[in-house]
Amino acid sequence: MEIGIEVYVTQSCGIGGRLRQLPEDFRVEEVLTNGSKAQVESSAIQQIEGRGRYLVCVLVKRNCDTLIAIHTIAKKLDVDEERIEIAGIKDARALTAQHVSIGRMLPDQVAQLKLNNIRLCPLHFSNGKIHSNLLFGNDFSIIVRAINHASSEIVGRMEGVRKELLGLGGCPNFFGHQRFGTTRPITHLVGKHMLHGEWEKAAVTFLTEPSPYEHPESRRARELLWKTQNYEEALHYFPFRLIYERQMLSHLAKQSRDYIGTFHRLPKKLRQLFIQAYQSYLFNKFLSQRIQRGLPLKKARGREFKLKIDGEEYVALPLIGYNQSVSTGEQGEIEKRTLEKEDVTPQNFKISMMPEISSSGGLRTALTPLIGLKIEKPIKDEFNPTRKMVQVSFTLKKGSYATTILREFMKPQNPIRAGF
């Protein structure tokens, strides 16, 4: 499904290959502005000194969605999900480590948790909770497998892309596939319906829109619900892994026309994500068309929006919201035409029926700097014996997606099949 990314910025050939054959192939470790790094190898500290309103922990998860991990932890600890705070959402199909804070919690309570693919490691007490302003970025260590080229060809192609990206001063700051749903990229479609007040369409899209890449049992359940529209019956066959879908179905089974109410059954972070995903889709469209027109990605032209990164000014594009206008000049024309085609205005982002998910908008740089890019020598892929694999590592600032960098190196024909 379209997510608004329509162009590559590099001309060099890609290496192909596949991501995430194993969750460990995609390793993400969060870094805070104070230099604290959440490490996959973290273990619980035996004795935690000091006091504070919040217990700060490292959450290590494998092959698990961040919001579902928080839901699971909250349920096990018997606390409200709102008491668990994070700095950012991490990849689901990956091995990730991030900071979390839990209000009014003791280390012993956390240490007793026994969960599949989820570990909580207490670090210290704090009077402040974890939030996005504390996030610097993420360290990535990623293995690309099943590459069907000779080692020398892989090295040559990757070096070509690397030189082009360094020449640009970074990589296009697209929102990656996981922003929209890795195997079922529909969150932006749900968000667009919510913006237009089409709550039934939003709910039906979330519940029934199938994907050929999701689990067959989930796909069959969605297709059957689309045919029957029987929410009560659907509770008998919707898989338990579809936690949020089942929460919505439980509400609709009792009040079949209360579509706004059924969204209130979902965590606020998830409801906000629908709106943010549509903002992200629009941003991707804006940036794609800027690249297609050959407009500069780093230096602003005229009175275009700008943001500073480490003292350097970068051109910025709008994340459309009720307080965020379009750009000036040629870029502004691109954005106006896109919004007209989408039949959406900035004021649509003020959602009267659910004001807590309204978005005022903001700015995002067109480029993201690549920090510490390192490419290892290709070696034999033990899981695909006739193919090669290569490891890539780098750091990105918060809000940027590793898959947008890997997309330039791999140039996949089918991003979802390639593990994006």
Specify the higher pLDDT residue, 201 or 114: 201
pTM value? 0.91
- For the chain, the straight-line distance linking the first and the last C-alpha, in angstroms and rounded, comes to 13
pLDDT value of position 1: 56
| DSSP H or E run through 359 | none
Cβ–Cβ under 8 Å, residues 329 and 357: no
pLDDT at 183 > cutoff 90: no
190's tokens: 């749900």
Across the range 206-227, mean pLDDT stands at 96
pLDDT at 276 > cutoff 60: yes
Distance separating alpha carbons of residues 196 and 27, to the nearest angstrom:
38
Told to judge if 91 belongs to the known catalytic residues of this protein, a careful annotator would answer yes
pLDDT value of position 91: 93
- Give all domains of the chain, ordered by start, each with its CATH number: 26-136 (3.30.70.3160), 187-268 (1.10.1510.30), 275-368 (3.30.2350.20)
What is the DSSP-derived secondary structure letter of residue 177? G
Query: What one-character-per-residue DSSP string does 26-60 give?
Result: EEEEEEETTS-B--TT----S---S--SEEEEEEE
Across the range 396-413, mean pLDDT stands at 96
pLDDT more than 90, % of the chain: 90
| DSSP H or E run through 75 | helix 66-77
Across the range 357-362, mean pLDDT stands at 97
- Rounded to the nearest integer, the mean pLDDT of the chain is 95
pLDDT value of position 43: 84
Q: Which of 65, 78, 80, 91 is catalytic?
A: 91
pLDDT value of position 2: 87
CB atoms < 10 A from the CB of 199, how many?
A: 19
pLDDT value of position 71: 93
pLDDT more than 70, % of the chain: 100
132's tokens: 């996005």
Structure confidence by residue, pLDDT tens digits, 73-104: 999 999 999 899 999 999 999 999 999 999 99
Query: pLDDT tier at 281 (50, 70, 90 boundaries)?
Result: very high
pLDDT at 21 > cutoff 70: yes
Name, in order, each residue with C-beta under 8 angstroms of 169's C-beta and a sequence gap of 6 or more.
Answer: 297, 298, 367, 369
